[in-house]
Amino acid sequence: MIRTKNVSSVSDRIYGTIKNEIFSCVFSPGDVMTIDSLASRFEVSRTPVREALLALCKEGLLLVRPRVGFCVTPVDVREIIETYSLRILLEKEAVRLAVTRISSETLLQLGRIMELPIHQYNHQFHSLIAKESGWGVLADVLETLLDKSARTRACLLHAEKHYARESLKGNYGHRDIYDALLRRDEEKAVAAMERHLEEAKNRVLKAISIV
């Protein structure tokens, strides 16, 4: 988001707040928001609100509904399948590259964050591995895909308590990925990442079928 100074800082703040609220399901799929209501809430003019909302539209989080407002996009099964399929392709490559490049400090950090509940560290776990691949563009693309996955999980956690309970158990394959990285075992790291993401995709699709 590149704009002039004053509008930029206000718009970025609004953008970040609304994006977080979409990911945490304060705004659920299908909810409508308007420029006027948000301008009143944030006590700003319409311009920075409009720019923030249009930026979220570009990311696929909102849709413009003429004469209505901006609608939070629904969780789409096809998008979930495409997102996880792309993640499998890219994160297998990311972890393969990271095996020989990952620093001792990052390994320690991965070990520490896995002590947290999974919903608090999942994004960071995958993001750190992507960054350690050494490929900046790959890490940037994966960051977008991780955002999409995070939003899907948040909506399902919000909608289905059974899924929430199951999602907070265990580390769902993170330990296998971590152990393979510690041993610098490329084959096992790639296999563990693929298995982990396939299982994650299947859990999400199963949750959708019961929500």
Q: Dump pLDDT digits (tens) for 58-77.
A: 988 899 999 999 999 987 88
Q: What is the pLDDT of residue 160?
A: 53
Looking at per-residue confidence, does 29 or 69 come out higher?
Answer: 69
Q: How confident is the model at residue 118 (pLDDT cuts 50, 70, 90)?
A: confident
Looking at per-residue confidence, does 168 or 87 come out higher?
Answer: 87
Q: What is the pLDDT of residue 129?
A: 98
- Tell me the mean pLDDT in the region 11-33: 90
Integer CA distances (angstroms), 187 to 136, 156, 180, in order: 23, 33, 8
Please give the single-letter amino acid code of residue 198: E
Please give the single-letter amino acid code of residue 27: F
Q: What is the pLDDT of residue 163?
A: 52
pLDDT exceeds cutoff 70 at 41: yes
Q: What is the pLDDT of residue 2?
A: 40
Q: What is the pLDDT of residue 5?
A: 45
pLDDT exceeds cutoff 80 at 107: yes
Q: Any idea which of 19-23, 60-64, 162-166, 192-196 has the lowest mean pLDDT?
A: 162-166
Q: What is the pLDDT of residue 7?
A: 64
Would you give the DSSP letter of residue 69?
E
- Per-residue pLDDT of 131-186, as tens digits, reads 999 999 999 999 999 988 887 777 666 655 555 555 545 566 999 999 999 999 99
pLDDT exceeds cutoff 60 at 46: yes
User: Rounded to two decimals, what is the model's pTM?
Assistant: 0.75
Closest to 167 in 3D by CA, of 205, 116, 118: 118
pLDDT exceeds cutoff 50 at 1: no
Please give the single-letter amino acid code of residue 202: N
Dihedral through CA 97, CA 102, CA 108, CA 114, nearest 10? -20
Q: Which two tokens stand for residue 54?
A: 């249009």
The single residue listed with the structure tokens 């510690």 is: 182
Mean pLDDT (the chain, rounded): 88
Integer CA distances (angstroms), 57 to 26, 62, 78, in order: 17, 5, 19
Q: Any idea which of 35-49, 159-173, 182-196 has the lowest mean pLDDT?
A: 159-173
Is residue 167 within 8 Å of residue 157, measured between CB atoms? Answer: yes
Pairing of strands 69-72, 62-65: antiparallel
